Structures are given as C-alpha cells and as structure tokens.
Structure 1
Amino acid sequence: MYPITLRLIQTMAVERLRGRALQRQRERVWLRDQGVCARCGRVTTFPSGFELDHKVALANDGTNDDSNMQILHHECHEAKTNEDLGYTPKVAIGLDGFPIEDDPGSVRRRTARWKRAARG
C-alpha cells in the first residue's frame, strides 16, 4: 500500500460533526471564548455571527475536540482558510515596474498540500 493512500485513509477516519452535536459544540466554544473572534478580537453574535473553525484542519490530522476549535468572524474565517490552503495575495505591478500594495481582494490560488498529495 502506498504511503499517500494510507494517509488519506487515516485522514478520512475523522469526520466533521453535524446536527445537534455540532450546535452544542458551537455554543460551548462560543461561551468558552466569550464570543470574541480569535483572529481580530471583535465580539461575535450567537448563533449566526461567527463560524466554528478547526485550529488544525481535519485534513492535517486535527481533531473535533473543543481544544482544537475557535470562533472566527465570517471574513476572518475566509482569510484563515485561504492561508491554510496556501493561497497568497496576488501582487499587482504598477507602470513603473514596482509592486502596488493596495490591491484588495485579489488572491493567487495554489493547490493545498493535502490536495497535492491526493493527486500524486
């Protein structure tokens, strides 16, 4: 058996929580963190003002334990997910040949580590 295949099988063993178990965990983590976003420090609202995030992704051998969970605003969660997947901000080049710093929202997509391993 190839090591990549074994890793995929081990990764698939941990499934995401769903239903009432997920809702109970969302409430526990929100109360534990006192409703504060782990990334920006702003207060979130319950139940729709945040997303529950794995600090270490399930694909990277993370768990569904409360200690591996944090709350993030929707925008903060999107930014963290982009970083986790290896997406880097695309740098725009000006007419003078130098990078332009203020290019909001553009992201250069790159295949994530775990997706590269699955293909190879």
Structure 2
Amino acid sequence: MRRRVDVSTSRPVERLRGRAGQKQRKRRLARTRGLCERCLARGLTRLADVVDHVVPLALGGSDDDQNTRNLCEPCHLEVTAEQFGFASIGKGVDANGRPLLSDHPWNARGGTGGGSKV
C-alpha cells in the first residue's frame, strides 16, 4: 500500500543556515562519531553522509537534535522512500531507479526508448 503525503498542510520550520547550520550539523554527526546509526544497529560500520530528521520537517517534525539521526546515503534513501510512501529500491534497478539490464528500452542508445543522452 502506497501512502501519499500532503505536505501543503505542514507548517514551515525555521532552520539554521550558514556557519551556525554547519556547526549544528557537525555537532549532530559527532554524536555517533560520524557513523550511520542504522548500520551500527545491524553490526555494520559506515560513515554517515546525512543528518536525517526522524519525523521529516515536511511532515511537521521539529529541527531539534532529538528528532535527528545520522545515516549513510543508502540508508537515507531507504528511510525517505518509506516515509513518503515510495516503493523501495528493488532488484534490477540502480539507486536512481534506472534499469540495470542493458537491453531495457531506457538503456537503448540512439533509439526512441527515452534513454539518457549522457
């Protein structure tokens, strides 16, 4: 079941910017010595790339330290997909959701399959 989120009703949260925001992020990452909290719980060691909000700001969460956790990019992608009702990354696709099979129409070069021109 996919859950849709109506972010139009949430109130804006005032966040720190500039040097104050960088100092806040550094302090939050230091809480776990810069390691991903989800990976640590699984017995893995990975550097955290993102200070994530447990209850997203877009869903009415606060910007307090108690509402944050340190996550690596793969964990952050998973959590965000779950929170906003998107399908998780499945087999046969990369982290961006692009198909891995070379013969998939999206990966066709020069055709009209809608593939990337990169």
Higher-strand-fraction structure? 1
Which residue matches 1:80?
79
What is the alpha-carbon distance in structure 2 between the residues aligned to residue 28 and residue 19 of structure 1? 14
- Where structure 2 has 5 or more consecutive residues not aligned to the other structure, the ranges are 1-5, 99-118
Which amino acid letter does the alignment assign opposite residue 11 of structure 1? Answer: R
TM-score, normalised on structure 1?
0.58
Higher-helix-fraction structure? 1
- Report if the CA contact (8 A) 1:50-1:74 is conserved: yes
- Report if the CA contact (8 A) 2:78-2:89 is conserved: no
Q: Secondary structure at the match of 2:80?
A: helix
Identity rate, percent: 37
How big is the alpha-carbon RMSD for the aligned residues of Structure 1 and Structure 2?
A: 2.6
- Report if the CA contact (8 A) 1:17-1:64 is conserved: no
Greater than 6 Å deviation, 4+ residue runs: none
Give the number of aligned pairs.
Answer: 86
Which residue matches 1:62?
61
What is the alpha-carbon distance in structure 1 between the residues aligned to residue 23 and residue 37 of structure 2? 19
- Where structure 1 has 5 or more consecutive residues not aligned to the other structure, the ranges are 92-101, 108-120
